[in-house]
Each structure stands twice: as C-alpha cells, then as structure tokens.
Amino acid sequence: MSNYFVHESSYVDDDVEIGNGTKIWHFCHIQKGARIGENCSFGQNVNVSNNVKIGNGVKVQNNVSIYEGVELEDYVFCGPSMVFTNDLTPRAKYPKGHAGYKHTLIKTGATIGANATIVCGHELGEWCTIAAGAVITKNVPAHALMAGIPAKQIGWVCECGQVLNDDLECPDCKRTYRMKNNLLTEVK
C-alpha cells in the first residue's frame, strides 16, 4: 500500500518511485523513471519529466516543469512558475534527445524564487538563494544570494534563509560563518 497522496486529476506513469509522505496536487504529471523522495510537495500543474531524481523534503510550487537532466537534492524549494532548461541550443527541427541534455544539479537546501530561470548545465550550491525573476547563467556558490538578469551575487544567506550581516552572522538564528578557501562555512 502506498503511503503518499496523488490527487485524482494527476497522472503518475509506470516505473515511478514516490517516497512516503509525498503529496502531489492537482493537474500534475510524474513521468516514467522519475524518483521522488519522502515528504515532498508538488503544487498544481507540476511536471516531473522522465528519469528526474528528487530528494527528500523538496517543495515545488505551482506551474513548474522539472525536465530530464535536472536533479534536486534534499530540501530544495522551487518557487511558483520558476523555469528549468535542459538544452542550451534547442531547435524544434533538430531534437537532441536525452543524451544531449545538460545536467543541472540543485544542491541541498537551495531556494529558487518565483519566475527565476535556471539555464542548464550549472550547479546551485547548498543553501543558496536565487531571487525572484533572476536568471542563472553560471554555477552558484553555497550560501550565495543571487539576483538580477543575468544574476550576480549580492550577498550571503544563512541555512535558515536569512541574509547574513557584514560580519557573516545571522540576525535570526545567530549562526556565524567564515570564509575559508573561497567557501563560506559555518563556525561550529
């Protein structure tokens, strides 16, 4: 017996794995070969394409398509109507098929704001935040706050999501960070 919820208006193809506690709401399509972890939530009109891998605790808001070649680790947040791509040079007349798709990796805890676009072939680091409407055209470091078109780093964010102050301290949860080897790491 399955221990997840799929709304009656949604379609789940054969050869799909869905973890316990996951909820798939109205008008979604989960395609063949998709692997979805536990305790995920998929809002209205979400498409998960063939062979997509999604970790645990992922939240995907309304109107998002997760195309083949995209991988979401644990606790990723995809805001409403954000966009993934999987082909840098698409042509209707010359489809490349899955062998031609670029891999895009969204690391643990990353947040992607509403209407942001993630150009394929890049990695978004752990706990980074992509502002609403931003366009990502390069790799994003862990904890980076990115905004604009094309997106540029405008600050650092805590694991809890708050923007860090100039001393790399979180005003909310009081975590502190430091730069080491050009990487932001939490002081334990």
- Reported as a single tens digit per residue, the pLDDT across 113-130 is 999 999 999 999 999 999
Instruction: Kindly report, as residue ranges, where domains of CATH 2.160.10.10 are found in the chain.
Output: 1-64, 67-90+98-163
Determine contact, residues 80/95, Cβ cutoff 8 Å. Answer: no
- What percentage of residues in the chain have a pLDDT greater than 70? 99
Q: Count the Cβ atoms, other than its own, within 10 Å of residue 116.
A: 24
In this prediction, residue 2 carries a pLDDT of: 74
Regarding the domain delimited by 67-90+98-163, which CATH topology (the fold level of the hierarchy) does it fall under? Answer: UDP N-Acetylglucosamine Acyltransferase; domain 1 (2.160.10)
Task: Report yes or no: 20 and 39 within 8 Å, Cβ to Cβ.
Answer: yes
pLDDT tens profile 74-90 = 999 999 999 999 999 99
> Are the C-beta atoms of residues 36 and 46 closer than 8 Å to each other?
no
pLDDT-derived band at 1 (thresholds 50, 70, 90) equals: low
pLDDT digits (tens, 9 = 90+) for 7-60: 999 999 999 999 999 999 999 999 999 999 999 999 999 999 999 999 999 999
Region 179-183 average pLDDT? 90
In sequence order, which residues have a C-beta less than 8 Å from that of residue 145 and are 6 or more positions away?
128, 129, 131, 153, 154, 155, 156, 157, 163
Note whether 156 and 175 are within 8 A (CB): no
Please state, in angstroms and rounded to a whole number, the distance separating the CA atoms of residues 142 and 59.
19
Q: How is residue 160 written in tokens?
A: 């809890």
Average pLDDT of the chain, as a whole number: 97
Residue 182 pLDDT class (50, 70, 90 cuts): confident
Q: Between these two residues, 2 and 167, which has the higher pLDDT value? A: 167
Assigned CATH class of 1-64: mainly beta
136 Cβ contact partners less than 8 Å away, ≥ 6 residues apart: 116, 117, 118, 119, 122, 124, 130, 146, 150, 151
